[in-house]
Amino acid sequence: MDDAHRTQSLKELVNRFLETSPFQRQLETAMVRSTWYKVMPKIICDRTLEMYVYNNKLFLKITSSALRHELRFNKDKILDLLKEAMPHTRLQDVVLL
C-alpha cells in the first residue's frame, strides 16, 4: 500500500468517525469559534455573545442591534471568510440572533 492511498484512507476514516461522533457538533463549533476570532475584526468579536453550529448553520448572538443589522447584509462574505480559513467546513448559512 503506498503512502498516498494510506493517507487518503486515514483521512476517510477520521471523517467517518467525526460524522458519526456525538461530539461532532461541539467539535465543529469549537473550530468555527477559533476561526471566527482569527478572521473577524475585534469590534465584531467583542460584540459576539454566543455562537454555535447546528444543521450546518452558524448561529450568532450579537449584542449590538446596529452591528447585527449590518452583518445580515454581509452573511455571504462571512461564510466566504470562514470557508477560506476552514476549507473542510460544511457551513451553509449564518443566522443572526
Domains for the chain: give ranges and CATH numbers.
23-96 (3.30.300)
Q: Look at residues 57, 78, 58 and name the one whose alpha carbon lies nearest to residue 67.
A: 78
Q: What is the pLDDT of residue 34?
A: 94
Q: What is the pLDDT of residue 6?
A: 62
Quick one: residue 56, left, alpha or beta (phi over 0 = left, psi -120 to 50 = alpha)? left
Degrees, nearest 5: CA angle 18-22-25: 70
Residue ranges of the chain with per-residue pLDDT less than 50:
none
Q: Supply the pTM of this predicted model.
A: 0.76
Q: What is the pLDDT of residue 10?
A: 79
